Structure 1
Amino acid sequence: MYSDDPLVLELLALLKAYNVRHIVIAPGSRHYPITRSLEHDKGFTLYSVVDERSAGFFALGLIQSIGAPVAALCTSGTASINFGSAVVEAFYQKLPLCVLTPDRLPELLGQMEDQMFPQTNMFRDFTRYVGLLKPVRNPLDRWFVNRVLNEALDALTANGGGPVQINIPILNPAEKGFGTAELPKARVIQRHRHLPIAPDWGAIARRLQGKRVQVVWGQSSPPSAALLAAFDGFTQAFDVLTLADHLSNLNHASRVRLPLLYLHLPAVQAPSMQPDIVITVFGNLVFQDNVNDLFRGSSVEHWQVGEDGDVSDPFRRLSDVFQMSPEQFFCETAKAASAPVSEHGYRRAAFTLVERLPKFLDIYGETAAIGRFLARLPRNSVLHIANSAPMRMAQFYDIDPSVRVLANRGINGIDGSMSAAVGYAASSQQLNFLVIGDLAFFYDMNSLWIRHRPANLRVIVMNNDGGAIMHSSWGSSAQVGMHVSAAHHTSVRGWVESLGIRYVSATNFDELDAALALFTDEAVSDAMVLEVFTEKTSDIVQMKAFYGKIGDDPLGTSPRKRFKKLAKRGLEQVGLLDAAKRILR
């Protein structure tokens, strides 16, 4: 039976009406009337996650897996603020996360009440809507609660979507009984959006014709067939080059390979390779800093396309905002074009430049290990990438287009990467792989303890005893290792094996190849963690040398001699020359 509390009944009825059927629940007692009622209703799928930080990111993984809104429910007090990182990530990825935060009555705030602080403003700057409910004591209260719930749940998907918070005051979770057999028929307010007056598509198409057009396609789900068809028409009508990293999940003939490396080529700075118009669509980029540097101070026009209509001007060249879906924009501009473009000279020139890119030297280290892993990824699997070094290094290699790629790139923090991967895999039938650094693993290690941990999850941990990216930026002093790069000498093995998860490790190429054969074997049905040990200083050497090599003269010396030369140069910059000499002997 359901709770007899009309507030709880209205909440559950409208969650179902708005298709919020998956609920991640962190333990506690203030939400007991809600939780017990959810357990009674087989129309909801429930997940139990103890740590609210993990629970929030677990919910984000679910959203991306099922393609529908997901709710995260906790008890009152500081439990709710632990959702914060996931809410911020959802805001910048525009993911429909519904945060349900039970609370005590507002009259008790500041009156020495246990587990109570002001919960009503904690997410206000990074949610689409904050709904403050009240106990239902009369028809006016019920009308108010119904209206607020409709506003909140509609905001999950309106204008591009994003997270909402619904704060639910409950005086006493044991006050009401559980004698209600059915949910009420709650009012659902239907929103019908009127399309504004259409732009002059002919004029817009004329602005594009004869121009070098660059589409910067950010993080997104795999594009629908309709979106791809519209983009095909657009790229046939105009001379378009597309920059899109692996998180775009875009496989298209206009897309330049390895865009992070492409942007490091000196020839890209030439006036003939600069676009006239840059069109940005969807989310954040791995190479955001690179395109910022390329376009700031240039004469490029920047057009932004998105359903939210927000003004985002990272290049400081924004001239047009199109508040609409990218599909509509590409379709309408292509239809308005006078004729298909006869020559894709800009795109062809960029593709020619990419062919000059060197391959990363096959020397044992973090980058080469990630490259060997990516080369063995099974088709139609799912790849999750944690932020920091693994994210950058993954951009050095091609990935099979059948593989979906995900990451917490909205804010680019290391927190929650593994929780999100666990949440996605929990509702996925595909093999899910996560590549993650040691610090990100330890930060989120509770996620492997989630009781819904799926057997289709494989985690590769790149362990070089700390944060190599931070270490490379600030030198090699003891203070850097202590307070910036968090140097350590810890393995994940003890934690992994204590949970009964299969563990393998590698310290060289031979061990790595043997481990990867098992790790990527689709016939193996167990969850698995592969820990790859590398040396931080060597990883820094290799990374800096490779970036230097992209801009170096490709003729005249052997690859190994060029590597030693560039490694020496890189390590001189960070004060690690003696270590470089030991590595490069």
Structure 2
Amino acid sequence: MQKSVNQLISHIYALGVRYVILCPGNRNAPVSLSFIRHKGFKCFSLVDERSAAYTALGIAIYQSKPVVIVCTSGTAVLNLYPAIAEAYYSQIPLIVITADRPSHLIDQWEGQCIRQTAIFEKHILASFTFDVEKNDNFDFKNNLFNCLSPVKGPIHINIPLEEPLYAKSDEFLYNNIKPYEQKSIAFTNKIPNEKLPSKILILAGADAYGQRLEKYCSFLSKSKKVVFIADILSGLHQKQNIKNWDFTCLLSSENEKQVLKPDLLITFGKIIVSKSLNQFLKKFKPQNHWHITPNGTIGNPFQTSPSEIKCSEEFFLSWIKNNISNIDKSYFENWEKISVKYDKKINKTFEQANFNEFSATRFILKNIEKNVNLFLSNSMPVRYASYLTTLCKISKIYCNRGVSGIDGTTSTAAGVSMVSKNNTVLITGDLSFFYDINGLWNKYLKSNYKIIVFNNNGGGIFRLIDGPDKAKERERYLTAPPNRNCKAIAENFNFIYFEANDFDSLNNSFKKFMDIKNSSAIFEIKFKPQNAVKFFKKLNLDTI
């Protein structure tokens, strides 16, 4: 049995995996011990499987490489599911290994035993049962590569294990396997043979682009031949050529939107945070929509029935760079003129703003250091940042936007901080923070992990969106005020605590909070719940 487990671990190492999250348990001991004794992996032990899986997700997000999560049998397995769903929709590579009872014990009143075979099948790229007694037919390389190619995401390996579970120390021998070479993706590189129209809107969606597309996007922006805008999670928002486009889509009149309407929409990447852009493009549909995808991933968020252009982003952006010379700048100039109009209104409103979550986000983005890893929680912090992309000088911005849940945010950001040398700053709401307290139950947290909690006593979004704001039961059942503060939690987990409740205290404490070197820190910013509502009304916002 142990020999087979060691063989699997050797192949996982050959895939390039170096980080493993191990959840304590007895049935998974042969797997956990094999990872630990291999010496090629950095292993972390975390008790809460739900939090542990999100922590593995955070490491995988930052590393852009697969991470392993291992747990015992039974309900422990089900606790992994939320992070697996997020990994599936965000296309983050995870290798989920669950220990199981032998098949003849399933449904026989055996303890800690549920039906684990293909348990995640709706939200997993591939699922396997690894037979430790006869694994000759297990295609290690191709099975493991399912988490990386053609689409990244989670895979599940369920391992039934019979007692005795603990092998002798001399049985931990490993196979010396040549490192796997990455699989190449075959591109058609076919681009429609059509004359490009004069009104082109290029939109970069969420993805981990890093610096590889920056030169192409910089050229397109500076050319002013096209409008180039970028989602806050694309890493390309610093290269866009329209300021405050999210506000522009939201505040512009029907006539102005007709002017802003593109003839050709070109998208790459995945999910878009902006609701205002989503609604604009649904109502003012482009004549054509091309989606650039190297791996066949395509959605229809704007109900525009996009055409799939299967090629690398680099290939396409290089092509369009060489094919826009005859396009005039009038479309860009119209966008710029309208956006400048609303930019002035927005800045004036912020200058006169009360102390609310939106204005605090603006302050933080203007004053935070550029080289941090910024993690934004759902649902409001990431939306506020989306409106303020022009202010944001940080390139590494993350959010669990695949499923957009509030659960697991603290744990995911913790995973990022564990493998990064730079400060990792999480901006989260009070409900999201209290929901994932076990994300702090982590002995591997370093002094680079800093958490900003917006405490407006409940789910603030329900005070803003149309519908709940008119329900008399809203506060008790929808907003769900926790009536808690973070100070005792900070003390319990040995975090240094800061607090602010107005602009002066925020301004006085923020730099001190960011400059803490010898400890993790929590900065709780307290708001009056109605301040954000008043601010939105002042901006005449009817949606977020």
Return the alpha-carbon distance in structure 1 between the equivalents of residues 379 and 310 of structure 2: 32
Is 1:374 aligned to residue 365 of structure 2?
A: yes
Q: TM-score, normalised by structure 2?
A: 0.91
State the distance in 2 between where 1:506 and 1:192 align: 51
Distance 2:92 2:445 in 1: 22
Equivalent residue for 2:431, pick from 435, 439, 446: 439
Secondary structure at 2:296's aligned position in 1?
coil
Question: How far 1:83 moved relative to its partner?
Answer: 1.1
In structure 2, the partner of 1:430 is: 422
The Cα shift of 1:416 comes to 1.0
Q: Are residues 1:119 and 2:119 paired?
A: no
Report the Cα distance in structure 2 between the residues aligned to 1:127 and 1:60, rounded to whole angstroms: 14
Query: Does 1:479 pair with 2:473?
Result: yes
Q: Does 1:283 find its partner at 2:283?
A: no
Higher CA-based Rg: 1
Superposition pairs of residues 156-175 of structure 1, within 5 angstroms: 156-172=147-163, 174=165
1:543 matched to 2:536? The reply is yes
Paired with 2:38 and 2:403, the residues of 1 have a C-alpha distance of 35
Is the Cα contact below 8 Å between 2:21 and 2:52 reproduced in 1? yes
Distance 2:185 2:429 in 1: 47
Paired residue for 1:331?
318
Give the match for residue 555 of structure 1: none
| 1:15 and 2:8 matched | no
Relative to structure 1, the CA distance from residue 191 to residue 21 in structure 2 (aligned partners, 3 Å threshold; closer, same or farther) is closer
1:74, distance to aligned residue in structure 2 (A): 0.8
Q: Is 1:470 the equivalent of 2:462?
A: yes
Q: In 2, distance between residues paired with 1:451 and 1:63?
A: 19
1:107 matched residue in structure 2: 104
Q: Which moved more, 1:467-476 or 1:160-169?
A: 467-476
Alignment CA distance shift 1:322-1:288 (3 Å): farther
Distance of aligned partners of 1:538 and 1:234 in 2 relative to their CA distance in 1, 3 Å threshold: closer
Change (3 A) 1:181 1:261: same
Residues 232 and 243 of structure 1, relative CA distance in 2, 3 Å threshold? closer
Question: Separation in 1 of the partners of 2:507 and 2:362?
Answer: 12
Within 5 Å, which residues of 2 pair with 1:498-577?
498-521=492-515, 524-548=517-541
Name the counterpart of 2:332.
347
The farther-off stretch of 375-384 and 282-291 is 282-291
- Please state how far the C-alpha of 1:262 moved relative to its aligned partner: 1.9
**Structure 1 vs Structure 2: percent identity of aligned residues?**
25
| Counterpart Cα distance in 2 of 1:299 and 1:390 | 30
C-alpha separation between the residues in 2 aligned to 1:306 and 1:150?
25
In structure 2, what is the equivalent of residue 552 of structure 1? Answer: none
Distance 1:476 1:491, change over 3 A: farther
CA contact (8 A) 2:374 2:394 kept: no
> 8 Å contact 2:498–2:509 — kept in the other structure?
yes
Pair 1:342–1:319, CA change in 2 (3 A): closer
State how far apart, in whole Å, the 1-side matches of 2:162 and 2:75 are. Answer: 17
More moved, 82-91 vs 295-304:
295-304
* Structure 1 residues 181 and 133: CA distance shift in structure 2, 3 A: closer
Q: CA deviation at 1:175?
A: 5.4
For residue 151 of structure 1, the aligned residue among 142, 158, 178 is 142
Residue in 2 that maps onto 1:207:
195
Secondary structure of the 1:119 match is coil
Q: Which runs of 5+ in 2 are unaligned?
A: none
The residue identity in structure 2 corresponding to 1:485 is T
Amino acid at match of 1:471: R
Aligned residue number for residue 493 of structure 1:
487
Q: CA–CA distance in 1 between the matches of 2:165 and 2:280?
A: 59
Aligned to 2:442: 450
Task: Report the alpha carbon displacement of residue 33 of structure 1 after superposing the two structures with TM.
Answer: 1.0
* Corresponding position: 1:229 with 2:215: yes
Determine the C-alpha separation between the residues in 2 that align with 1:96 and 1:380.
25
1:183-210 deviation line (CA, Å, top 9, x unaligned): 12459886755735542x4x54x432x3
CA contact (8 A) 2:490 2:497 kept: yes
Distance in 2, Cα, partners of 1:233 & 1:143: 53
What's the CA shift string for 1:121-176, capped at 9, x where partnerless? 3211111111221122xxxx23223x1x3233111110231111111111125254
What letter corresponds to residue 251 of structure 2 in structure 1? Answer: L
Q: CA 1:403–1:299 in structure 2 vs 1: closer, same or farther (change >3 Å)?
A: closer
Q: What code does the residue aligned with 1:144 have?
A: N
SS in 2 for 1:481: helix
Select 2:235's aligned residue among 245, 249, 256: 249
Structure-1 separation of matches of 2:7 and 2:308: 39
Measure, in 2, the Cα distance between the counterparts of 1:531 and 1:494: 12
* Count of paired positions: 533
Q: CA deviation at 1:508?
A: 1.8
1:392 aligned onto 2:380: no
In 2 relative to 1, CA 194–490 (structure 1 residues): closer, same or farther, beyond 3 Å? closer
Secondary structure, aligned partner of 1:380: coil
**1:224 and 1:396 mapped to 2: Cα distance?**
23
Residues 235-255 of structure 1: CA distance to partner in whole angstroms, max 9, x if unpaired?
678832122232111045444
**DSSP 3-state at the match of 1:487:** coil
Change (3 A) 1:111 1:395: same
Q: Deviations over 1:46-96 (max 9, x none)?
A: 111111111111111111222211111111111111111111111111111
Shift of 1:395: 2.8
Deviates more, 1:179-188 or 1:158-167: 179-188
Residues 538 and 173 of structure 1: CA distance in aligned 2, closer, same or farther (over 3 Å) = farther
Please give the alpha-carbon distance, in whole angstroms, between the structure 1 residues aligned to 2:291 and 2:43.
38
Q: Distance in 1 between matches of 2:441 and 2:3?
A: 35
Counterpart CA distance in 2 for 1:283 and 1:292 is 17
1:478 and 1:315 mapped to 2: Cα distance?
A: 33
Q: Would you say the 8 A contact 2:407–2:435 is kept in 1? A: yes
Q: Distance in 1 between matches of 2:276 and 2:113?
A: 41
**Cα deviations across residues 279-331 of structure 1 (Å, max 9, x unaligned)?**
22112111146324433463531111222313412222224102232122222
Q: What TM-score, normalized by structure 1, do the two folds share?
A: 0.85
Q: Does the 8 Å CA contact 2:187/2:312 hold for their aligned counterparts?
A: no
Structure 1's unaligned 5+ residue stretches are 549-569, 574-585
Q: Structure 1 387/197 Cα, relative in aligned 2: closer, same or farther at 3 Å?
A: closer
Question: Counterparts of 1:62 and 1:187 in 2: how far apart (Å)?
Answer: 24
After superposition, the Cα gap between the structure-2 partners of 1:107 and 1:307, relative to the gap in structure 1 and judged at 3 Å, is: farther
Q: Distance in 1 between matches of 2:63 and 2:14?
A: 17
Aligned residue number for residue 49 of structure 2:
52
What is the identity, as a one-letter code, of the residue corresponding to 2:55?
Answer: F
Give the CA RMSD over aligned residues. Answer: 2.5
